[in-house]
Structure 1
Protein backbone atom coordinates (compact mmCIF):
# COMPACT_ATOMS: atom_id res chain seq x y z
CA UNK A 1 0.00 0.00 0.00
CA UNK A 2 1.33 3.43 -0.98
CA UNK A 3 0.07 5.14 2.15
CA UNK A 4 1.75 2.53 4.35
CA UNK A 5 5.03 3.05 2.52
CA UNK A 6 4.76 6.77 3.11
CA UNK A 7 3.95 6.13 6.74
CA UNK A 8 7.08 4.03 7.13
CA UNK A 9 9.19 6.99 6.08
CA UNK A 10 7.14 9.44 8.12
CA UNK A 11 7.75 7.39 11.23
CA UNK A 12 11.48 6.95 10.69
CA UNK A 13 13.37 7.79 13.90
CA UNK A 14 15.35 11.01 13.86
CA UNK A 15 17.52 13.06 16.18
CA UNK A 16 18.02 11.79 19.70
CA UNK A 17 16.05 8.59 19.09
CA UNK A 18 18.09 7.79 16.02
CA UNK A 19 21.30 8.19 18.00
CA UNK A 20 19.91 6.07 20.84
CA UNK A 21 18.95 3.26 18.49
CA UNK A 22 22.28 3.42 16.75
CA UNK A 23 24.04 2.99 20.09
CA UNK A 24 21.83 -0.03 20.79
CA UNK A 25 22.70 -1.53 17.43
CA UNK A 26 19.07 -1.64 16.31
CA UNK A 27 18.03 -1.63 12.67
CA UNK A 28 15.86 1.32 11.69
CA UNK A 29 13.52 -0.72 9.48
CA UNK A 30 12.10 -2.94 12.21
CA UNK A 31 11.86 -0.02 14.62
CA UNK A 32 9.90 2.42 12.50
CA UNK A 33 7.71 -0.42 11.23
CA UNK A 34 6.58 -0.84 14.84
CA UNK A 35 5.92 2.90 15.04
CA UNK A 36 3.53 2.54 12.14
CA UNK A 37 1.80 -0.48 13.69
CA UNK A 38 1.28 1.55 16.84
CA UNK A 39 -0.10 4.47 14.85
CA UNK A 40 -2.50 2.27 12.87
CA UNK A 41 -3.79 0.69 16.07
CA UNK A 42 -4.28 4.07 17.69
CA UNK A 43 -6.18 5.30 14.63
CA UNK A 44 -8.40 2.22 14.49
CA UNK A 45 -9.45 2.57 18.11
CA UNK A 46 -9.36 6.37 18.24
CA UNK A 47 -7.03 6.12 21.21
CA UNK A 48 -3.79 8.06 21.36
CA UNK A 49 -1.37 6.21 23.57
CA UNK A 50 1.44 7.77 25.62
CA UNK A 51 3.48 10.19 23.57
CA UNK A 52 7.26 9.98 23.67
CA UNK A 53 9.11 13.02 24.98
CA UNK A 54 10.79 13.82 21.70
CA UNK A 55 9.15 16.46 19.47
CA UNK A 56 11.10 15.41 16.36
CA UNK A 57 8.59 12.63 15.65
CA UNK A 58 5.74 13.70 13.40
CA UNK A 59 3.72 12.23 10.59
CA UNK A 60 4.23 13.45 7.05
CA UNK A 61 1.72 14.77 4.53
CA UNK A 62 1.21 11.41 2.80
CA UNK A 63 0.15 9.80 6.03
CA UNK A 64 -2.13 12.76 6.62
CA UNK A 65 -4.25 11.77 3.63
CA UNK A 66 -5.95 9.25 5.88
CA UNK A 67 -6.24 11.65 8.73
CA UNK A 68 -4.13 14.73 9.14
CA UNK A 69 -1.33 13.85 11.47
CA UNK A 70 -3.03 10.80 13.02
CA UNK A 71 -0.29 10.54 15.56
CA UNK A 72 2.31 13.19 16.38
CA UNK A 73 4.56 10.48 17.67
CA UNK A 74 4.38 6.76 18.27
CA UNK A 75 3.88 5.51 21.77
CA UNK A 76 6.94 5.52 24.01
CA UNK A 77 5.88 2.04 25.03
CA UNK A 78 5.70 0.90 21.41
CA UNK A 79 9.06 2.51 20.75
CA UNK A 80 10.73 0.62 23.59
CA UNK A 81 9.21 -2.69 22.53
CA UNK A 82 10.18 -2.06 18.92
CA UNK A 83 13.83 -2.28 19.93
CA UNK A 84 13.35 -5.99 20.54
CA UNK A 85 10.33 -6.99 18.45
CA UNK A 86 9.60 -7.05 14.74
CA UNK A 87 6.29 -5.77 13.33
CA UNK A 88 4.43 -9.09 13.55
CA UNK A 89 5.44 -9.55 17.18
CA UNK A 90 4.33 -6.01 17.94
CA UNK A 91 0.96 -6.68 16.32
CA UNK A 92 0.57 -9.92 18.28
CA UNK A 93 1.15 -8.02 21.51
CA UNK A 94 -1.60 -5.54 20.68
CA UNK A 95 -4.24 -8.01 19.53
CA UNK A 96 -5.59 -11.42 20.48
CA UNK A 97 -7.08 -12.07 17.03
CA UNK A 98 -5.63 -12.45 13.55
CA UNK A 99 -7.88 -11.77 10.59
CA UNK A 100 -7.98 -12.75 6.94
CA UNK A 101 -10.82 -14.56 5.19
CA UNK A 102 -12.02 -15.23 8.75
CA UNK A 103 -10.71 -14.75 12.27
CA UNK A 104 -8.49 -16.91 14.44
CA UNK A 105 -7.90 -16.06 18.08
CA UNK A 106 -4.63 -16.79 19.84
CA UNK A 107 -6.47 -19.31 22.02
CA UNK A 108 -7.68 -21.10 18.90
CA UNK A 109 -4.16 -21.16 17.48
CA UNK A 110 -3.01 -22.71 20.74
CA UNK A 111 -5.62 -25.45 20.32
CA UNK A 112 -4.21 -26.24 16.88
CA UNK A 113 -0.61 -26.07 18.10
CA UNK A 114 -1.40 -28.42 21.00
CA UNK A 115 -3.01 -30.97 18.67
CA UNK A 116 0.00 -30.95 16.35
CA UNK A 117 2.56 -30.88 19.18
CA UNK A 118 1.00 -33.89 20.90
CA UNK A 119 1.38 -35.88 17.69
CA UNK A 120 4.90 -34.63 17.04
CA UNK A 121 5.98 -35.54 20.55
CA UNK A 122 4.89 -39.15 20.05
CA UNK A 123 7.00 -39.63 16.91
CA UNK A 124 10.01 -37.42 17.67
CA UNK A 125 12.00 -40.39 19.10
CA UNK A 126 11.92 -41.92 15.61
CA UNK A 127 14.05 -39.03 14.38
CA UNK A 128 16.25 -38.74 17.47
CA UNK A 129 17.09 -42.44 17.49
CA UNK A 130 18.28 -42.17 13.91
CA UNK A 131 19.97 -38.77 14.39
CA UNK A 132 21.13 -38.54 18.02
CA UNK A 133 23.23 -35.42 17.45
CA UNK A 134 20.55 -33.33 15.74
CA UNK A 135 18.47 -31.27 18.18
CA UNK A 136 16.63 -29.12 15.61
CA UNK A 137 13.27 -30.94 15.68
CA UNK A 138 13.39 -31.06 19.49
CA UNK A 139 13.95 -27.30 19.58
CA UNK A 140 10.95 -26.79 17.30
CA UNK A 141 8.74 -28.94 19.51
CA UNK A 142 9.90 -27.06 22.62
CA UNK A 143 9.05 -23.77 20.90
CA UNK A 144 5.60 -25.11 20.04
CA UNK A 145 4.94 -26.03 23.67
CA UNK A 146 6.04 -22.59 24.82
CA UNK A 147 3.32 -21.06 22.67
CA UNK A 148 0.76 -23.69 23.68
CA UNK A 149 1.46 -22.99 27.35
CA UNK A 150 0.71 -19.30 27.05
CA UNK A 151 3.81 -17.54 25.71
CA UNK A 152 3.23 -15.16 22.83
CA UNK A 153 4.32 -16.37 19.41
CA UNK A 154 7.65 -14.95 18.27
CA UNK A 155 10.45 -15.57 15.81
CA UNK A 156 11.37 -18.58 17.94
CA UNK A 157 8.54 -20.62 16.46
CA UNK A 158 9.31 -19.53 12.91
CA UNK A 159 13.06 -20.11 13.09
CA UNK A 160 12.91 -23.47 14.84
CA UNK A 161 10.20 -24.65 12.45
CA UNK A 162 12.39 -23.88 9.46
CA UNK A 163 15.34 -25.61 11.11
CA UNK A 164 13.25 -28.72 11.79
CA UNK A 165 12.12 -28.85 8.17
CA UNK A 166 15.75 -28.58 7.06
CA UNK A 167 16.54 -31.50 9.34
CA UNK A 168 13.70 -33.42 7.71
CA UNK A 169 15.18 -32.87 4.26
CA UNK A 170 18.52 -34.21 5.48
CA UNK A 171 17.02 -37.31 7.14
CA UNK A 172 18.08 -40.64 5.71
CA UNK A 173 14.80 -42.54 6.11
CA UNK A 174 11.17 -41.75 5.37
CA UNK A 175 10.11 -42.32 8.96
CA UNK A 176 12.74 -39.97 10.46
CA UNK A 177 11.95 -37.37 7.80
CA UNK A 178 8.26 -37.43 8.68
CA UNK A 179 9.01 -37.24 12.41
CA UNK A 180 11.20 -34.15 11.98
CA UNK A 181 8.63 -32.51 9.74
CA UNK A 182 5.91 -33.10 12.32
CA UNK A 183 8.01 -31.19 14.87
CA UNK A 184 8.42 -28.36 12.40
CA UNK A 185 4.67 -28.35 11.79
CA UNK A 186 4.07 -28.09 15.54
CA UNK A 187 6.13 -24.90 15.79
CA UNK A 188 4.65 -23.35 12.65
CA UNK A 189 1.09 -24.01 13.84
CA UNK A 190 1.40 -20.82 15.88
CA UNK A 191 1.34 -18.95 12.57
CA UNK A 192 -1.54 -20.79 10.89
CA UNK A 193 -2.98 -18.26 8.43
CA UNK A 194 -6.70 -17.39 8.43
CA UNK A 195 -7.01 -17.72 4.66
CA UNK A 196 -9.45 -20.07 2.93
CA UNK A 197 -6.86 -22.15 1.08
CA UNK A 198 -6.81 -25.95 1.08
CA UNK A 199 -3.07 -26.17 1.73
CA UNK A 200 -3.57 -24.56 5.14
CA UNK A 201 -5.31 -27.75 6.29
CA UNK A 202 -1.91 -29.43 6.15
CA UNK A 203 -0.72 -27.23 9.00
CA UNK A 204 -3.49 -28.73 11.14
CA UNK A 205 -3.58 -32.38 10.04
CA UNK A 206 -0.32 -33.27 8.28
CA UNK A 207 1.49 -34.20 11.49
CA UNK A 208 -1.24 -36.71 12.40
CA UNK A 209 -1.08 -38.16 8.88
CA UNK A 210 2.71 -38.38 9.19
CA UNK A 211 2.43 -40.23 12.50
CA UNK A 212 0.02 -42.69 10.89
CA UNK A 213 2.42 -43.25 8.02
CA UNK A 214 5.31 -43.83 10.44
CA UNK A 215 3.23 -46.48 12.20
CA UNK A 216 2.54 -48.13 8.83
CA UNK A 217 6.26 -48.20 8.00
CA UNK A 218 7.12 -49.71 11.37
CA UNK A 219 4.45 -52.37 10.77
CA UNK A 220 5.82 -53.38 7.38
CA UNK A 221 3.67 -50.98 5.35
CA UNK A 222 0.41 -52.24 6.79
CA UNK A 223 -2.30 -49.72 5.80
CA UNK A 224 -4.64 -51.00 8.49
CA UNK A 225 -2.24 -49.75 11.15
CA UNK A 226 -2.30 -46.30 9.56
CA UNK A 227 -6.08 -46.28 9.50
CA UNK A 228 -6.18 -47.12 13.20
CA UNK A 229 -3.83 -44.20 13.93
CA UNK A 230 -6.09 -41.88 11.94
CA UNK A 231 -9.04 -43.00 14.05
CA UNK A 232 -7.07 -42.23 17.20
CA UNK A 233 -6.24 -38.79 15.82
CA UNK A 234 -9.93 -38.20 15.13
CA UNK A 235 -10.80 -39.08 18.71
CA UNK A 236 -8.18 -36.67 20.06
CA UNK A 237 -9.59 -33.71 18.13
CA UNK A 238 -11.56 -31.27 20.27
CA UNK A 239 -14.76 -29.51 19.13
CA UNK A 240 -12.77 -26.28 18.92
CA UNK A 241 -10.23 -27.87 16.59
CA UNK A 242 -12.98 -29.20 14.34
CA UNK A 243 -14.64 -25.79 14.29
CA UNK A 244 -11.36 -24.24 13.15
CA UNK A 245 -10.88 -26.94 10.51
CA UNK A 246 -14.32 -26.28 9.05
CA UNK A 247 -13.36 -22.68 8.26
CA UNK A 248 -10.97 -24.05 5.64
CA UNK A 249 -11.69 -25.90 2.38
CA UNK A 250 -11.32 -29.69 2.23
CA UNK A 251 -7.78 -31.07 2.46
CA UNK A 252 -6.10 -31.15 -0.95
CA UNK A 253 -6.31 -34.47 -2.74
CA UNK A 254 -3.10 -36.28 -3.59
CA UNK A 255 -1.78 -39.65 -4.68
CA UNK A 256 0.90 -40.07 -2.02
CA UNK A 257 0.07 -41.88 1.20
CA UNK A 258 0.37 -38.81 3.44
CA UNK A 259 -2.21 -36.96 1.33
CA UNK A 260 -4.53 -39.96 1.43
CA UNK A 261 -4.27 -40.28 5.21
CA UNK A 262 -4.79 -36.57 5.67
CA UNK A 263 -7.89 -36.62 3.47
CA UNK A 264 -9.28 -39.54 5.46
CA UNK A 265 -8.75 -37.68 8.72
CA UNK A 266 -10.18 -34.45 7.31
CA UNK A 267 -13.31 -36.22 6.08
CA UNK A 268 -13.85 -38.06 9.35
CA UNK A 269 -13.46 -34.91 11.46
CA UNK A 270 -15.95 -32.94 9.37
CA UNK A 271 -18.41 -35.85 9.39
CA UNK A 272 -18.24 -36.09 13.17
CA UNK A 273 -20.04 -32.75 13.65
Structure 2
Protein backbone atom coordinates (compact mmCIF):
# COMPACT_ATOMS: atom_id res chain seq x y z
CA UNK A 1 0.00 0.00 0.00
CA UNK A 2 1.16 3.53 -0.76
CA UNK A 3 -0.21 6.97 0.08
CA UNK A 4 -0.90 9.25 -2.86
CA UNK A 5 -2.44 12.52 -3.94
CA UNK A 6 -4.99 13.10 -6.67
CA UNK A 7 -5.37 16.17 -8.82
CA UNK A 8 -8.56 16.56 -6.74
CA UNK A 9 -6.30 17.37 -3.78
CA UNK A 10 -5.25 20.41 -5.83
CA UNK A 11 -8.74 21.20 -7.15
CA UNK A 12 -8.69 24.95 -6.38
CA UNK A 13 -4.97 25.42 -6.93
CA UNK A 14 -5.24 24.18 -10.54
CA UNK A 15 -8.54 25.93 -11.25
CA UNK A 16 -9.06 29.04 -13.35
CA UNK A 17 -9.74 30.88 -10.08
CA UNK A 18 -6.06 30.64 -9.16
CA UNK A 19 -3.80 33.45 -10.34
CA UNK A 20 -1.14 30.93 -11.38
CA UNK A 21 -2.64 27.43 -11.54
CA UNK A 22 -0.21 24.69 -10.56
CA UNK A 23 1.34 22.64 -13.35
CA UNK A 24 1.69 18.86 -13.39
CA UNK A 25 5.35 19.25 -12.49
CA UNK A 26 4.52 21.42 -9.49
CA UNK A 27 1.90 18.94 -8.28
CA UNK A 28 4.41 16.12 -8.62
CA UNK A 29 6.99 18.10 -6.67
CA UNK A 30 4.53 18.81 -3.88
CA UNK A 31 3.53 15.14 -3.79
CA UNK A 32 7.18 14.26 -3.16
CA UNK A 33 7.64 17.12 -0.68
CA UNK A 34 4.77 15.79 1.42
CA UNK A 35 6.26 12.31 1.43
CA UNK A 36 3.53 10.73 -0.70
CA UNK A 37 4.55 8.06 -3.20
CA UNK A 38 1.73 8.16 -5.76
CA UNK A 39 0.16 10.89 -7.88
CA UNK A 40 -3.12 10.17 -9.65
CA UNK A 41 -3.75 12.42 -12.66
CA UNK A 42 -7.53 12.19 -12.42
CA UNK A 43 -10.12 13.89 -14.67
CA UNK A 44 -7.34 16.20 -15.86
CA UNK A 45 -8.16 16.87 -19.49
CA UNK A 46 -4.77 18.41 -20.21
CA UNK A 47 -3.05 15.04 -20.08
CA UNK A 48 -4.84 13.95 -23.25
CA UNK A 49 -3.34 16.85 -25.18
CA UNK A 50 0.27 16.15 -24.23
CA UNK A 51 2.66 15.28 -27.03
CA UNK A 52 4.84 12.19 -26.94
CA UNK A 53 7.76 14.33 -25.81
CA UNK A 54 5.68 15.98 -23.09
CA UNK A 55 4.43 12.62 -21.81
CA UNK A 56 8.03 11.43 -21.71
CA UNK A 57 8.94 14.52 -19.67
CA UNK A 58 6.12 13.92 -17.15
CA UNK A 59 7.21 10.30 -16.77
CA UNK A 60 10.84 11.31 -16.36
CA UNK A 61 9.94 13.90 -13.72
CA UNK A 62 7.88 11.38 -11.76
CA UNK A 63 10.66 8.80 -11.94
CA UNK A 64 13.29 11.31 -10.79
CA UNK A 65 11.09 12.21 -7.80
CA UNK A 66 10.32 8.58 -6.98
CA UNK A 67 6.59 9.11 -7.52
CA UNK A 68 4.39 6.43 -9.05
CA UNK A 69 1.78 7.70 -11.52
CA UNK A 70 -1.85 6.65 -11.87
CA UNK A 71 -4.48 7.94 -14.29
CA UNK A 72 -8.17 8.74 -13.99
CA UNK A 73 -10.86 9.35 -16.59
CA UNK A 74 -14.59 8.86 -17.14
CA UNK A 75 -16.53 6.56 -19.43
CA UNK A 76 -16.21 3.03 -20.82
CA UNK A 77 -16.26 3.53 -24.58
CA UNK A 78 -13.66 1.02 -25.82
CA UNK A 79 -11.89 3.58 -28.00
CA UNK A 80 -11.60 5.98 -25.06
CA UNK A 81 -10.29 3.27 -22.77
CA UNK A 82 -7.75 2.28 -25.42
CA UNK A 83 -6.57 5.90 -25.55
CA UNK A 84 -6.01 5.84 -21.79
CA UNK A 85 -4.27 2.50 -22.03
CA UNK A 86 -1.82 4.10 -24.47
CA UNK A 87 -1.35 7.00 -22.06
CA UNK A 88 -0.81 4.49 -19.25
CA UNK A 89 1.94 2.79 -21.23
CA UNK A 90 3.60 6.11 -22.04
CA UNK A 91 3.56 7.16 -18.37
CA UNK A 92 4.41 3.73 -16.90
CA UNK A 93 1.01 3.58 -15.18
CA UNK A 94 -0.44 0.30 -13.90
CA UNK A 95 -3.85 1.60 -12.70
CA UNK A 96 -6.48 3.65 -14.50
CA UNK A 97 -9.61 4.79 -12.69
CA UNK A 98 -12.81 5.35 -14.66
CA UNK A 99 -16.58 5.62 -14.23
CA UNK A 100 -19.38 3.93 -16.14
CA UNK A 101 -20.73 7.26 -17.38
CA UNK A 102 -19.07 10.24 -19.03
CA UNK A 103 -20.53 13.68 -19.65
CA UNK A 104 -22.05 12.63 -22.97
CA UNK A 105 -22.54 8.87 -22.59
CA UNK A 106 -24.75 6.86 -20.22
CA UNK A 107 -24.70 3.20 -21.27
CA UNK A 108 -27.04 0.66 -19.75
CA UNK A 109 -25.44 -1.86 -17.43
CA UNK A 110 -25.58 -4.45 -20.21
CA UNK A 111 -23.95 -2.06 -22.68
CA UNK A 112 -21.25 -1.11 -20.19
CA UNK A 113 -20.52 -4.78 -19.53
CA UNK A 114 -20.09 -5.53 -23.23
CA UNK A 115 -17.83 -2.53 -23.71
CA UNK A 116 -15.66 -3.59 -20.81
CA UNK A 117 -15.48 -7.14 -22.11
CA UNK A 118 -14.05 -5.63 -25.29
CA UNK A 119 -11.61 -3.24 -23.60
CA UNK A 120 -10.34 -5.05 -20.50
CA UNK A 121 -8.35 -7.82 -22.29
CA UNK A 122 -6.09 -5.10 -23.67
CA UNK A 123 -5.51 -3.84 -20.14
CA UNK A 124 -4.77 -7.36 -18.95
CA UNK A 125 -2.30 -7.88 -21.76
CA UNK A 126 -0.33 -4.80 -20.69
CA UNK A 127 -0.67 -5.46 -16.96
CA UNK A 128 -2.84 -2.40 -16.27
CA UNK A 129 -5.79 -2.54 -13.85
CA UNK A 130 -8.97 -0.62 -14.66
CA UNK A 131 -10.81 0.50 -11.50
CA UNK A 132 -14.43 1.71 -11.73
CA UNK A 133 -15.34 4.27 -9.11
CA UNK A 134 -18.32 4.09 -6.78
CA UNK A 135 -20.56 7.12 -7.14
CA UNK A 136 -24.16 8.21 -6.89
CA UNK A 137 -25.23 7.59 -10.49
CA UNK A 138 -24.71 3.82 -10.30
CA UNK A 139 -25.48 1.76 -7.21
CA UNK A 140 -22.56 -0.09 -5.69
CA UNK A 141 -24.40 -3.39 -6.14
CA UNK A 142 -24.86 -2.71 -9.86
CA UNK A 143 -21.20 -1.77 -10.19
CA UNK A 144 -20.18 -5.04 -8.55
CA UNK A 145 -22.50 -6.92 -10.92
CA UNK A 146 -20.73 -5.36 -13.91
CA UNK A 147 -17.28 -6.18 -12.55
CA UNK A 148 -18.26 -9.78 -11.81
CA UNK A 149 -19.94 -10.21 -15.20
CA UNK A 150 -16.69 -9.21 -16.95
CA UNK A 151 -14.74 -11.48 -14.62
CA UNK A 152 -11.17 -10.22 -15.02
CA UNK A 153 -8.57 -9.72 -12.32
CA UNK A 154 -7.65 -6.54 -14.18
CA UNK A 155 -11.07 -4.96 -13.62
CA UNK A 156 -11.84 -3.78 -10.11
CA UNK A 157 -13.41 -0.97 -8.12
CA UNK A 158 -12.13 2.39 -6.97
CA UNK A 159 -13.85 2.76 -3.61
CA UNK A 160 -15.06 6.18 -2.46
CA UNK A 161 -17.94 5.74 0.01
CA UNK A 162 -18.64 9.48 0.21
CA UNK A 163 -19.82 9.60 -3.40
CA UNK A 164 -22.68 7.19 -2.79
CA UNK A 165 -24.39 9.11 -0.01
CA UNK A 166 -26.32 11.14 -2.59
CA UNK A 167 -27.89 7.87 -3.79
CA UNK A 168 -28.97 7.10 -0.21
CA UNK A 169 -26.40 4.35 0.16
CA UNK A 170 -24.84 4.08 3.60
CA UNK A 171 -21.03 4.30 3.39
CA UNK A 172 -20.53 1.18 5.52
CA UNK A 173 -22.78 -0.82 3.18
CA UNK A 174 -20.89 0.48 0.15
CA UNK A 175 -17.65 -0.72 1.72
CA UNK A 176 -19.14 -4.12 2.50
CA UNK A 177 -20.62 -4.52 -0.97
CA UNK A 178 -17.45 -3.66 -2.87
CA UNK A 179 -14.61 -4.74 -0.55
CA UNK A 180 -13.62 -7.92 -2.36
CA UNK A 181 -13.17 -6.06 -5.65
CA UNK A 182 -11.44 -2.88 -4.46
CA UNK A 183 -8.28 -2.03 -6.42
CA UNK A 184 -7.92 1.65 -5.46
CA UNK A 185 -9.09 3.88 -2.60
CA UNK A 186 -10.12 7.52 -2.83
CA UNK A 187 -9.91 8.85 0.70
CA UNK A 188 -11.91 11.95 1.58
CA UNK A 189 -14.06 12.79 4.58
CA UNK A 190 -17.46 14.45 4.54
CA UNK A 191 -20.08 15.87 6.84
CA UNK A 192 -23.59 17.30 6.93
CA UNK A 193 -24.36 20.83 8.10
CA UNK A 194 -27.62 22.71 8.48
CA UNK A 195 -28.25 25.33 5.83
CA UNK A 196 -29.00 28.91 6.84
CA UNK A 197 -32.32 29.13 8.64
CA UNK A 198 -32.12 25.42 9.47
CA UNK A 199 -33.86 24.57 6.21
CA UNK A 200 -32.24 21.42 4.86
CA UNK A 201 -28.65 20.21 4.96
CA UNK A 202 -25.45 20.63 2.96
CA UNK A 203 -23.21 17.63 2.30
CA UNK A 204 -19.63 18.76 1.90
CA UNK A 205 -16.06 17.84 2.67
CA UNK A 206 -14.19 18.24 5.93
CA UNK A 207 -10.78 17.42 7.32
CA UNK A 208 -10.02 13.72 7.24
CA UNK A 209 -10.96 12.11 10.55
CA UNK A 210 -13.42 14.83 11.55
CA UNK A 211 -16.47 13.75 9.55
CA UNK A 212 -18.75 10.82 8.80
CA UNK A 213 -16.22 8.53 7.10
CA UNK A 214 -15.45 5.56 9.34
CA UNK A 215 -11.91 5.27 8.06
CA UNK A 216 -10.86 2.59 10.53
CA UNK A 217 -13.74 0.28 9.64
CA UNK A 218 -13.11 0.79 5.92
CA UNK A 219 -9.43 -0.11 6.25
CA UNK A 220 -10.19 -3.11 8.42
CA UNK A 221 -12.59 -4.45 5.77
CA UNK A 222 -10.61 -3.58 2.62
CA UNK A 223 -7.10 -4.35 4.03
CA UNK A 224 -5.15 -2.12 1.61
CA UNK A 225 -1.78 -2.90 3.22
CA UNK A 226 -2.22 -6.62 2.73
CA UNK A 227 -3.60 -6.23 -0.79
CA UNK A 228 -1.22 -3.45 -1.90
CA UNK A 229 -4.08 -1.04 -2.61
CA UNK A 230 -3.02 2.60 -2.90
CA UNK A 231 -4.85 5.23 -0.85
CA UNK A 232 -5.35 8.43 -2.83
CA UNK A 233 -6.15 11.70 -1.05
CA UNK A 234 -9.00 13.84 -2.39
CA UNK A 235 -11.14 16.64 -0.97
CA UNK A 236 -14.61 18.15 -1.20
CA UNK A 237 -13.41 21.55 -0.05
CA UNK A 238 -16.14 24.23 -0.36
CA UNK A 239 -15.25 27.65 -1.68
CA UNK A 240 -14.14 29.98 1.10
CA UNK A 241 -14.26 33.77 1.07
CA UNK A 242 -11.57 34.16 -1.62
CA UNK A 243 -9.13 32.12 -3.67
CA UNK A 244 -6.19 32.79 -1.34
CA UNK A 245 -8.08 31.49 1.70
CA UNK A 246 -9.45 28.52 -0.25
CA UNK A 247 -6.03 27.50 -1.58
CA UNK A 248 -4.41 27.90 1.83
CA UNK A 249 -7.04 25.65 3.41
CA UNK A 250 -6.72 23.13 0.58
CA UNK A 251 -3.00 22.88 1.25
CA UNK A 252 -3.66 22.48 4.97
CA UNK A 253 -6.19 19.69 4.37
CA UNK A 254 -3.82 17.89 2.02
CA UNK A 255 -0.95 17.96 4.50
CA UNK A 256 -3.26 16.85 7.28
CA UNK A 257 -4.60 13.95 5.19
CA UNK A 258 -1.14 12.64 4.35
CA UNK A 259 -0.13 12.75 8.02
CA UNK A 260 -3.44 11.13 9.06
CA UNK A 261 -2.93 8.23 6.62
CA UNK A 262 0.68 7.81 7.59
CA UNK A 263 -0.15 7.69 11.30
CA UNK A 264 -3.04 5.26 10.75
CA UNK A 265 -1.28 2.85 8.40
Give the alignment's TM-score, normalised by structure 1. Answer: 0.26
Question: Hey, which of these two has a bigger chunk of helix by percent?
Answer: 1
Higher relative contact order (CA 8 A, sep 6+): 2
Q: If you compute each CA radius of gyration, which structure gives the higher value, 1 or 2?
A: 1
Question: Hey, which of these two has a bigger chunk of strand by percent?
Answer: 2
